[in-house]
Structure 1
Amino acid sequence: MLVTLSVGWAIIQGGRFVLSPLLPTIIADLGITEATAGLAFTALGGVYAVAQYPSGRLSDQWTRTTLIVPGLAVLVVGFLLFGTASSYLPFVAAAVVVGLGKGLFAIPSRALVSDRYVERRGRALGVYAAGTDAGGLVASGVAVVVLSSATWRAPFLPIAVALALLTLLFVWWSDEPYQVERADLELGTTVRRLVASSGQRRTLTAYALFYFMVGGFITFFPTYLAGSKGFTESLASVAFAVVFVVGFGIKPLAGDLSDRFHRQDVAAAGMGAAALALVVLVVAESALLIWASTLVLAVGYKTQFPLADAIVMDAAPDGGMGADLGAARALFLGASAVGPAYVGIVATAVGYAAAFGSLAACLLVAALLVWH
């Protein structure tokens, strides 16, 4: 199940991340601005965030499989819609459907992995989270090919087909029953449990700031390099790929380190390094500094993903892991959803330096909050 779910997550994230290096072409083809493009990604992230808690809570009360399979089916439809979008409104509709499918899949799949790896939760979640980087790496390579020889819509039919095949495999291999019954979401109880201590409140605030930075950075990073740093679109796609190459290796290692040492200390060190690297990236003029800062930034911020989930799961009660993780990630991803709109609007109004510089400040504050 770890391999199956990790591969599924890689395909899903590949479909999401292939949009970023193709964004300049999408903007030109659909006749939109960076601000309106950012709003479309915010719609995707917003629906994804809203779906986190109910999917997590229901996967506790029903079964993980009962949520995972419909989530995969909705994702197949969403990526087919991306492949046929010919104007802005269908593009936004596709983004909303993909956001819903991701929301149904993300928490139950993580909870299923965590159910099976209690003692090595950090490492297992690191392997799962590395699916994001495997998908992003493939997306970067696909984008280079698409930019040189095909329409931006070309990748989405193969992605939908791959997800459909994986859904069939998951259904065949899963040993969980399907169960639907009356359920109580108990959102108030879960929220009160999450904010019960000052340490938990600081951690939640820190990761909300972190995810806000991620949402803005990852959506516009290739566009930023192409528009402000003199990179070609293909070279910007290579830099985008480097971020995921680093993440693929660092996430399992970070998860393992967090099993051995204090998770919050590992998280704070990574955030601090990422904040410094993002500042250097903004002011850098030489290609060497841009590449070096990109590498350090990738190491620092990719460290966080298995740690954030593990920190929340460590504090969750038996039978409430999906609910707690869903509520926490709803907050994190709600902040992440605002990131693309923020960067798009600020970049359109005053430039990318101000947009990305303020993201570095968010990272620094997050590092200070999580270090306790």
Structure 2
Amino acid sequence: MLLVVALGWAATQTGRFVLPPLLPEMQADLSLSLTQAGIVLTVFNTAYAVTQYPSGRLSDSLSRATLLVPALVVLVVGSVLIGGATSYALIVVGAGVFGVGMGMYAIPSRALLSDLFVRHRGRALGVLGAGADVGGGLASAAAVLVLAVATWRTPFFPLAAALAGLAILFVVWNAESYVVRPARLGVIETLYRLLATPSQRWALLAFALFYFMINGVLSFLPAYLREVKGFSPTLATASYALLFVLGVGIKPVAGGVSDRFPRQRVATVGMLVGAAALAVLMLSNSVAGILVGIVLFSVGYKTQFPVIDALLMDAAPDGNMGGDLGAARTVFLGVGSLGPAFVGVTADRFDYTVAFVGLTVSLFAAAAILFWQGRR
């Protein structure tokens, strides 16, 4: 189950991360402005965010499998819609459907692994997170191929086939029952638990600032490297791929470290490294300096994913783990979903550098909040 769930997550991330390297081609094909491109990615991230609480809550009251199989089906539909989109409205719809499917998958998959790996939760979540980097690496490879011989639409049809195959594998290997019955979402009680103490509220704010930054950076980094740093499309995509190649090893290690040391401290250090790396990336004009910034940024931001999830799961009661994790992620991913729109609008009105400075400031603020909370 660890294998099939991680591969499913890898496939969803392939769809998520294949668009940024191809964004200029998509813009040219559909005649989109930077603002419109940012809105497409924000719609995806918003749909991904708002679906997380109900899917997590329902996976607690029904079963993990009851949510995971429909999630894979929705992802297949979203992939086909994106690949076949011929207008701005259709690409927005496709992005929204794919985001819903990814949101349905995200929390039940984490909760399933948390059920299976209690003593090594951080490491198991790190392995799941590494699946995202496998997907990011595949997305970058697909983008390089597409830029050479095909169109930006091409990767989404093989992706739909892969997701359908994984849905079949999950059904074959799954040992859980499928449960369909009425269930309460309990939104008020869950929000009360999440926001009960100042420390929890500050932590959610820090994570929201982190996701605001990362959604903005990942959505536009290849375009930034091409348009500001003068990289060729292939070099920009290969540099983008570095983030994911490194993440395959960083996430499991970071999850294991957070099992042995205070998770909040691990997250703070990672955020500071990431903020410093963005500064290096913006100030460097040589290929070597920019690549150093990308490597450091990967170390800093990839550390966060297993650590943040483990922090939230540690604080959640066993019977509401999926719901609490989903609600927390809905809150900070909802705020974070505005990152691509911020970059698109700011780059249209000013330039990419101003947008990336704003993202760097938000990451420094997130690190400062966690550091301050850790000293209390």
TM interval, shorter chain, is: over 0.9
The gaps in structure 2 that reach 5 residues or longer are none
Q: Name the amino acid aligned to 2:43.
A: A
Q: Distance in 1 between matches of 2:318 and 2:146?
A: 47
Q: Name the amino acid aligned to 1:368.
A: A
- 1:108-147 pair list within 5 angstroms: 108-147=108-147
Q: Name the amino acid aligned to 1:41.
A: L
1:319-346 per-residue CA deviation (whole Å, 9 max, x = no partner) reads 0100110001101211221110000000
User: What residue is the counterpart of 1:18 in the other structure?
Assistant: 18
User: What residue is the counterpart of 1:81 in the other structure?
Assistant: 81
- 1:162-241 pair list within 5 angstroms: 162-241=162-241
User: What's the Cα RMSD here?
Assistant: 0.8
User: What residue is the counterpart of 2:337 in the other structure?
Assistant: 337
User: What residue is the counterpart of 2:52 in the other structure?
Assistant: 52
1:74-123 per-residue CA deviation (whole Å, 9 max, x = no partner) reads 00011011111111111111101101111111111110010111110000
1:213-249 per-residue CA deviation (whole Å, 9 max, x = no partner) reads 0110000000000000010111100011001111111
Q: Secondary structure at the match of 1:171?
A: helix
Q: Shift of residue 311 of structure 1?
A: 0.3
Q: Distance in 2 between matches of 1:43 and 1:274?
A: 25
Q: Distance in 2 between matches of 1:63 and 1:248?
A: 29
Q: Which runs of 4+ in 1 moved over 6 A?
A: none
Q: Name the amino acid aligned to 1:229.
A: K
Q: Name the amino acid aligned to 1:118.
A: V
User: What residue is the counterpart of 2:320 in the other structure?
Assistant: 320
1:249-295 per-residue CA deviation (whole Å, 9 max, x = no partner) reads 10000000000000000000000011011012112212221111111
Q: Shift of residue 197 of structure 1?
A: 1.8
Q: Secondary structure at the match of 2:118?
A: coil
1:27-59 per-residue CA deviation (whole Å, 9 max, x = no partner) reads 001001111011011111111111010000010
1:103-160 per-residue CA deviation (whole Å, 9 max, x = no partner) reads 1111111100101111100000000011111000011011001001101111111000
Q: Secondary structure at the match of 2:20?
A: coil
TM-score normalised according to structure 1 size: 0.99
User: What residue is the counterpart of 2:41 in the other structure?
Assistant: 41
Q: Distance in 2 between matches of 1:82 and 1:97?
A: 9
The gaps in structure 1 that reach 5 residues or longer are none
Q: Distance in 2 between matches of 1:74 and 1:85?
A: 16
- 1:358-369 pair list within 5 angstroms: 358-369=358-369
User: What residue is the counterpart of 2:90 in the other structure?
Assistant: 90
TM-score normalised according to structure 2 size: 0.98
User: What residue is the counterpart of 1:275 in the other structure?
Assistant: 275
Higher mean alpha-carbon deviation, 84-93 vs 68-77, is at: 84-93
Q: Distance in 1 between matches of 2:337 and 2:363?
A: 16
Q: Distance in 1 between matches of 2:154 and 2:350?
A: 33
Q: Distance in 2 between matches of 1:318 and 1:254?
A: 23
Q: Distance in 2 between matches of 1:271 and 1:345?
A: 25
Higher mean alpha-carbon deviation, 49-58 vs 276-285, is at: 276-285
Q: Distance in 2 between matches of 1:247 and 1:199?
A: 29
Q: Secondary structure at the match of 2:338?
A: helix
Q: Secondary structure at the match of 2:318?
A: coil
User: What residue is the counterpart of 2:258 in the other structure?
Assistant: 258
1:312-371 per-residue CA deviation (whole Å, 9 max, x = no partner) reads 000001201001100011012112211100000001111011100111111111111122
User: Number of residue pairs matched?
Assistant: 372
| 1:307 paired to 2:307 | yes
User: What residue is the counterpart of 2:352 in the other structure?
Assistant: 352
Q: Distance in 1 between matches of 2:291 and 2:157?
A: 33
1:54-77 per-residue CA deviation (whole Å, 9 max, x = no partner) reads 000010000000001001000001
Q: Distance in 1 between matches of 2:279 and 2:334?
A: 25
Q: Secondary structure at the match of 2:196?
A: coil
Q: Shift of residue 195 of structure 1?
A: 1.5
